[in-house]
Amino acid sequence: MTTHYLEDLQPGQRFRAGSRSIALAEIQAFAREYDPQPFHLDPEAAKATIFGELVASGWHTMALTMRLIVDGEARPAWGFAAGGVEALDWPNPVRPGDTLTAESEVIEVKPSRSKPDRGVARIRITTHNQRNEPVLVVTARVIVPKRSAGA
């Protein structure tokens, strides 16, 4: 895989990431550990919620997305060293058996004014389910070195 420096990135550039299916047991295990709400843990209790069925935690969706992106085509030289998150949306829930696929798009690239060895890339990451419905959209600021700094 190619390592990307600030000079390699341009607005509109897209990077594919892999796919991964999510099982009921995974959803429940994550929820028990990190987000123990009834609609993530108990199929019966979930029926009485706004989801009407058991769904994955949004944080679980974010964690899975991060893994897909890190294993994907985008390879910032310093990794995904986030300088912040501007927006995070979960437009549709993730259900047991869903297969998630992620991609990232460079929105903006700006050299740093105060640190000449780096810059910031604004990157929008979108994760879809197998029905091509977005389940996560996040816009992050990623700190990326210039080629001379990382080489």
The CATH number of residue 122's host domain is 3.10.129.10
- Residue 9 above 60 pLDDT? yes
pLDDT tens-digit map of 65-117: 999 999 988 888 877 777 899 999 999 999 999 999 999 999 999 999 999 99
Which pLDDT score, from 0 to 100, does residue 76 have?
A: 81
What residue numbers bound the domain in which 138 lies? 6-150
Any domain includes 52: yes
Does pTM top 0.75 for this prediction?
yes
pLDDT tens-digit map of 32-72: 999 999 999 999 999 999 999 999 999 999 999 999 999 98
Any domain includes 43: yes
- In sequence order, what are the beta bridge partners of 14? 105
Which pLDDT score, from 0 to 100, does residue 62 have?
A: 97
Any domain includes 1: no
Number of compact structural domains in the chain: 1
Which pLDDT score, from 0 to 100, does residue 21 have?
A: 98
- Residue 151 above 80 pLDDT? no
Any domain includes 19: yes
Longest dimension (CA), the chain: 57
Any domain includes 141: yes
Any domain includes 30: yes
Any domain includes 54: yes
Which stretches of the chain are DSSP H helices?
Answer: 24-34, 38-41, 43-46, 58-70, 147-150
Any domain includes 25: yes
What amino acid is encoded at 49 in this protein? T
pLDDT tens-digit map of 117-135: 999 999 999 999 999 999 9
- Residue 150 above 80 pLDDT? no
Return the closest-CA partner of residue 84 out of 143, 141, 144.
141
Q: 26-56 in b/e burial notation, b at 16+ Cβ within 10 A?
A: ebbebbeeebeeebbbeeeebeeeeeeebbb
Which pLDDT score, from 0 to 100, does residue 1 have?
A: 66
Tell me the average pLDDT across 10-31: 96
